[in-house]
Structure 1
Amino acid sequence: MAFAGILSDCTTVLFFLVLLLGASRLYPVGASHNITTILSTNQDFSEFSAALNSSNLTAEIDRRTTITVLAVDNGVMAQLRSRRLSPEAAVHSLALHVLLDYFDDAKLHSLTAGSALATSLFQATGQAKESSGIVNITVRLGGRVAFSPYGTPEASPAVFYQKSILESPYDIAVLQVSALISFPMAEAETPAPAPESAHGLADLLSKNGCDGFASLVTATAGAARTYQRSADGGLTVFCPADKSVAAFTSRFKNLTAEAQLVLLLYHGVAKHYSENVLKTINGEVNTLATDGTKSFDLTIMNDGDAVKLSSSSSGSEARVTKTITDDDRIAVYLIDAVLLPGELFNGSAGAVAVAPSPSPVTSPAPPPAPATKSAPSPKSKPAPTSEPAPAPDSPRADQRNNAASGMASWSLFAAPVAVALVLWGEWHLCG
């Protein structure tokens, strides 16, 4: 009887351990991937990776499981820029390339009836009209796998699967495709160029204490056109006062043409922020200088009754001193300094603030400590300070993300191994 009781207990333990092992396989710990790390293994996808990051799609991809990312190389990303989509339409286009299902090479070539429909991240946002965010996957003649917007004729131009970049079954697959999936809604979101001259916005600025900045915008190739195009869909301009621009002019002339364009576009945001909304942002926004390869962010903070603008990486700061105009599409604010994007100036200098003298103001050196007659004591070491948290995109942050991903991946492996070891021990005990 005692032996039968022991055998019964062992059988019960083994039964529940088998159930636990099955549950650990059915219910994984969660997403253990990092799309930025995956794409960083090949520089051909650097622009696509940067575009995902600047569009705030990276975090959405990393938090999801059972997902497929259709990546394109830098040459295809150049085509996206040439289409001059509005910022919103560009995000929608990229979100269309994130499928909320797992498709690897084997699954693509074994589709039931040779086709499948996949919901994209764009469709999941609720911003897609009807079924414009659904992707049709078909196997064409010769076994080529094509991706196209749902509802388009099969004879229409399609995007073709080229190769697999990464396959982590039922977690994430990253596949390279031949081009960007084009859909009419994205094109419709891009406003047509205004028939009037691009000098319209410059005229508005020049009449309200921003003549210096308006002159630079008009004289810089691409700047006026970008501002005017953005004005059609909503625009906020932070215009440095004339005195600030005058103090910065000589330095501006020494910049490369590309750097001049970036600096001017850094003072604009492709969205209308009213005066009340501006005081509630307290965070980073993408400026007009942001493109598919680089992200030029500007931090907007409420500072009491004022609004402060800054670029944390360059130490550049400015304050809004006046609202020039605020209508239903365009808001223009006067600021007291020229903003310097940190990505361009590498933190070597701050903004050029309005001052009676153009010479930089330096902080006075601290006065020397008074002499004492007591014997000198050995210098004490400074108390250790807490280490600042790394920025989200810093290498150390990536290391921590990678470590977290590694722990998640290890947990997926460790649970079954631990259960197997316990099974082995119970088997020998019961044997």
Structure 2
Amino acid sequence: MRALAYADAAMYWASRIAGNDQFVLFAFDAPTSSRRTAPDLVGEVRRRAAALADLHLVVESVPGDLDYPRWVPAPVRDDAVVVRAGPYEWSGVLAEVAGMSRLHDHGSLWRVHVFDRVAGVHGAGGGARVAVFQVSHALGDGRRVSSIARALFGGAPPEPARDGPVAAADDRIAALRGGAMIGPHLARATARGLIAWSRAETEPAPVSVSPTRANATPGPIRELRTLTVPAATVKVGGRSVTAGVLAILAEVLPDYLAARPGDACAELTLAFDDDPSAEVLPRNRFQTAGIGLHADVADRARRAGLIADDLSAARRRAHSPGRLAARRAAASAPAALASAAVRLGADAPPPATVSGWTVVSSVNRGAADLSLAGGRVLLTAGFPALSRMHSLTHGVHGIGDAVTISVCAGGPIASDVDDYLSVLVNALNSAQK
């Protein structure tokens, strides 16, 4: 039994309020020479899952959230792998993913949904299979769950997690101890907060712009769309895929949202690595940063260069001594207060300004060397969760030479997401000229 780190517990507590499951999608071709039945597919995935320690866990809460929840060993559930026989169209698979119920509602941390006999998959000569790894954010950030997902389909297993020790194995004793230690833990968090303040460096003013219609409560409806292109298409001016996609979004978002180009911005998830030699490391090691899109710069290559510079600066800040000290201070917070902060944050009134019109999450999922039932991987996709301030998010995921831009839309954006996709396709097509 091990304890969830502060960042992982925050993700778990948030899942009790609103869905924050991650969906790691892989599409594979389905050669006619390798026909597999549903039990064959289930057995293949379950055998691989049996070898992964991350997939043999459940979360056990402490009464009153007076201590951090714990990872408890558990067998792979009977319903952990589900095969949907089809036939499906690619759009139908996306619609099924959009309507999937939260893992928290079923008390599980992960499931694999295999869609068989899928037509219309990019790069597939005929039919295809699509595997969707639905996973709790508590188990890891985009990098870690991508590593777990790769291992499910033939990749190397991820590095072992370095979760913290529990203060007491009995949850009632842990709750009593946690309640008694609120004062000392709060004092420690305050001291570490003062250290963080003393180490804080002067930083540029954070991005702060007026909300657009994409910054509205998304409601229950979700619409998912994808575009898959060669990586070279979005490496604008030789910059990274992430910078290139952001440079292209800069040409699309202002007109689509009827907003000023000079305000164009995106909230990007940035991974960080604290002390790699530490005995305890959270599974979620990322933060968000508002990135200006320089939409008023006409030249796309120059714009991508400016965005790349901003991304590099934001990553450097994420690794600064002040930010590291701030994360240590937050991780020292008493569990009861940390849990309350998550609940209160969900109920807080919407802010007057935002740091991004949309959220962008970008992860390279490695070489195209994965397989399912004898079929090679064709593409990978992912759909960052919507929030009360973002009804439009983008995933940027690469495997091999294929990059998929995924769009998740809700609220006022859901009704005309296909119009948005058409504009995005035009922008991508112009990038290839």
TM-score by length of 1: 0.25
The answer to which structure, 1 or 2, has the higher relative contact order (CA under 8 A, 6+ apart) is 2
TM-score by length of 2: 0.24
Rg bigger for which structure? 1
